[in-house]
Structures are given as structure tokens and as C-alpha cells.
Amino acid sequence: MSLPLDGVLVADFSRVLAGPLAAATLADLGAEVIKVERPGVGDDTRHWGPPWTETPAGSSSSYFECANRSKKSVELDLADPADLAVARELAARCDVLIENFRAGSLDRHGLGYDAVAARNPGVVYASITGFGSGGGADLAGYDFLVQAVGGLMSITGRPDEPTKAGVALVDVLTSKDAVVGILAALRARDRHAEGRGQRVEVNLLSSLLGSLANQASAYLTTGAAPVAMGNQHPSIAPYETLRAKDGHVAVCCGNDGQFARLVSAVGLPGLAADPRFVTNGDRVAHREDLVGLLENALAADTVDTWVERLAGSGLPVGKVGSVADGFELATRLGLEPTVDVGHGRARQVRSPLTFSATPVTTYTAPPGLGEHNDDVRTMLSIPQDNQENPR
């Protein structure tokens, strides 16, 4: 069965996480992805361990593995004329080029957008930067840095300690924005009379700000920057973690009906009519009082008992678990969260996308450094004029 992006050739000139993860997503969807890496060194993340996963060629970092499955790897030194010729030929053949070099770096090698598009007008050229190609072009972009300067740390964790997210969340969000932009540009190319592509630009700071949703809207509405509130929601209560006898319960009460069921289930039905808690606005204004009353009641029993009891009342609640618990829950719910990529490698997270007609069914192991050097060179040595479909 064909996949949505069968026949699409992607040249992945990116490294670390945002770009490689975007390219891996396109590979999941059927694109052929050629990953260009520095000879003898490869992607920075090949060396970011532990933990390591064992491969036929030796150890590979699990960090690298998470963003580079289903690709081919070719080593190219852009300072070497012969290798540069291969890189330029790949750029001339591909449908999509993904890069996250510093501004101007690829231009010096004849691999900037203008040079590539002159030879390959149908190319969708995706550039990923930290702070855009204007005033922030010379600034180095790292997820941790953007979480700090973009405000995410200021609303994460406790008020007295700015805290990063537990994963490189900005890189992941930017990766998804890049994929959306690439797919939209491919669709626009399909509709263009001459099949012309275009440049797609995403940057970490803009992707972060775009993801702040209600927090960004609150700031733009009031002029007051949101602050860290731990696990509490700034606009809803109770919508947070509440302490029970042996741990924490995650409780989401999004309306008055849910609140009435909650207080009834914990043995405090009168709180639903208490003037401090009648409406959501009242509950937010008197959150400290409300949390104290609820936690006093929850202290009488265990997390597991409360989760069963509250869920039985139709409430959205759950135990605060580990990553392992998350995978166990997804497995129990039949979501099949992991896939086998073969070659004795560690299992990987299944694509979160499901399709009724073109399901993602093929996953292959991340490549060894330069594993496909000969294959890629052979493919690119075939004159385009002799190919029925050069892409």
C-alpha cells in the first residue's frame, strides 16, 4: 500500500533535533530521506549518550535514534569539491531540502535557497533557525536557551525557580511547525501552474510563542505577563494536582457540573453551593481555600482508590505517573505506542498519526554513519535525462 509521501525525495542537511525530527516524520509518511552528515563525525547527537543502543556497527546514542529512523546516511564534506558536487546534485534532485545551518553558511557553498531554486525551481526549501533570518540571524538557537528567553521557563515549575520542560519541547514544536509548512508548500507546488516550490522558514522563538496559546492571549489581553503556578491552571479551578494519602491525583474540573460531582464524591457536597465556589471564577478567586478543603478530604485514602472512585463518577482524573506508566497506559488502551525497527535495535515510539487508507506501516532502523555512501552516490550519478522520474 502506498504512503502519503511516496515518491518524495528529502535532502536532510539538518542536525540535532528539530530538523532531523521533521525529516523523520516525512520518512514515516513515505518520503525517501537522505541524511547528509559530516565525515567521521556525523550528527552531533550520535555522541550524546548515555543511554546507548547496540547496533551491528557498535553503539548508537538513543538520542540520535529517536530522530533519524527510516533514513539513508551519506557522508559529505562541503569543503571538498567532489563531495560538494554530490551535495549540489542531491539538492538539484530533491523535492524537499531541510537545513538548520547558520545564516549564510550554505550560501557560501552554492547550497542556499536562491542557488538551489535556480537549478531546481520545484524545491521546497525549509530553513530552521533559532531566532529568524532577520535581526536574530547571528544568534545561536538552542532549545534550552529559547525556553529561557522566550518565557516558557517563567511559567513552568514553581514561582521561585524558573524551570525548563522535561524534554526539548521547543525543538519538538518547531519540528512539527516545519512539517506543517513543508506539507503546505508541497500542496501549493502541486497547484502551481509551473510546479514551483518556495522557501519555508520556521524559528524556535516564533514556534514557542505560537504554542503559548491561552498564556500568550492572556498577556496580549491584559499586558501582564503570566507567572509560574506549579501544576495549577491560571484560569480554571480545580484543574491541578491534589495531594492524597500516598501521592498526587491529577484533577480536571472544566465546568460546574464536574465540580459538583467532584465534591460529592469526596464527601463535601455542600461546597457546590458555597458562595466561594459556585462559579469557576469564584473557585479561581478562592483557590487556596478550595485546595485546602479538597486535600483534607483526599488525605483519607490512597491515590489509586480516589482515581477509581472519581473516574467512576465520570470525572477526568488520573494518577501522576512516570514515562513508563505512560507507555503502559497506552499499551493497555490498545494504542500500540511502540514499533520494532529491526536489526536488534531498541523499540521506538510509533508515529502518532493514523490514516484509514494509507497507514504508516514501514519503519526502518536509523542509519549508521555513511551507511549509504555508495547507494546515494550511485543514485545521483544517473543522468537526470535518462530517468523517467528524476524525483
Residue 342's pLDDT is: 85
Share of the chain above pLDDT 70, in %: 97
* Domain range summary for the chain, segments of one domain joined by +: 9-211+336-386, 239-332
Who wins on pLDDT, 138 or 116? 116
Whether 171 is catalytic is yes
Contacts of 380 (CB under 8 A, 6+ apart): 86, 89, 90, 93
Alpha helices in 223-349 (DSSP H): 256-265, 280-285, 287-298, 303-312, 323-332
- H/E stretch holding 59: strand 58-61
Q: Is the pLDDT of residue 341 over 50?
A: yes
Q: Is the pLDDT of residue 182 over 60?
A: yes
- H/E stretch holding 65: helix 62-66
Determine which one of 171, 190, 256, 274 is catalytic. Answer: 171
Q: How far apart are CA 240 and CA 235, in angstroms?
A: 11
Residue 46's pLDDT is: 95
Q: What is the DSSP letter of 3?
A: -
Q: Kindly indicate the confidence band of residue 240, based on its pLDDT and cuts at 50, 70 and 90.
A: very high
Q: Which CATH superfamily is domain 239-332 in?
A: formyl-coa transferase, domain 3 (3.30.1540.10)
Closest CA to 346 of 72, 60, 70: 60
355's grid cell: 490514516
Collapsed DSSP state (helix, strand, coil) of residue 348: strand
Residue 390's pLDDT is: 43
Please say whether the dihedral angle defined by the alpha carbons of residues 193, 26, 17 and 328, taken in this order, is positive or negative: positive
Q: Mean pLDDT throughout 183-195?
A: 96
Whether the bond between 51 and the residue before it is cis, its omega within 30 degrees of 0, is: yes
**Is the separation of the CB atoms in 133 and 202 below 8 Å?**
no
**Using only C-alpha atoms, what is the Rg of the chain?**
25
Q: Mean pLDDT throughout 264-293?
A: 97
327's grid cell: 507507555
The single-letter code of the amino acid at 378 is T
**Is the separation of the CB atoms in 261 and 313 below 8 Å?**
yes
Q: Is the pLDDT of residue 139 over 80?
A: yes
240's grid cell: 491541578
Residue 54's pLDDT is: 80
Q: Which CATH superfamily is domain 9-211+336-386 in?
A: Crotonobetainyl-coa:carnitine coa-transferase; domain 1 (3.40.50.10540)
Q: Mean pLDDT throughout 195-211?
A: 98
**pLDDT tens digits, 364-373:** 999 999 999 9
Q: What is the DSSP letter of 341?
A: -
Q: How far, rounded to the nearest angstrom, does the alpha carbon of residue 223 sit from its chain's CA centroid?
A: 29
Q: Mean pLDDT throughout 350-377?
A: 93
Closest CA to 317 of 241, 237, 233: 241
Q: Kindly indicate the confidence band of residue 385, based on its pLDDT and cuts at 50, 70 and 90.
A: very low
Q: Kindly indicate the confidence band of residue 389, based on its pLDDT and cuts at 50, 70 and 90.
A: very low
Q: Is the pLDDT of residue 388 over 50?
A: no
- Average pLDDT in the chain: 94
32's grid cell: 525517501
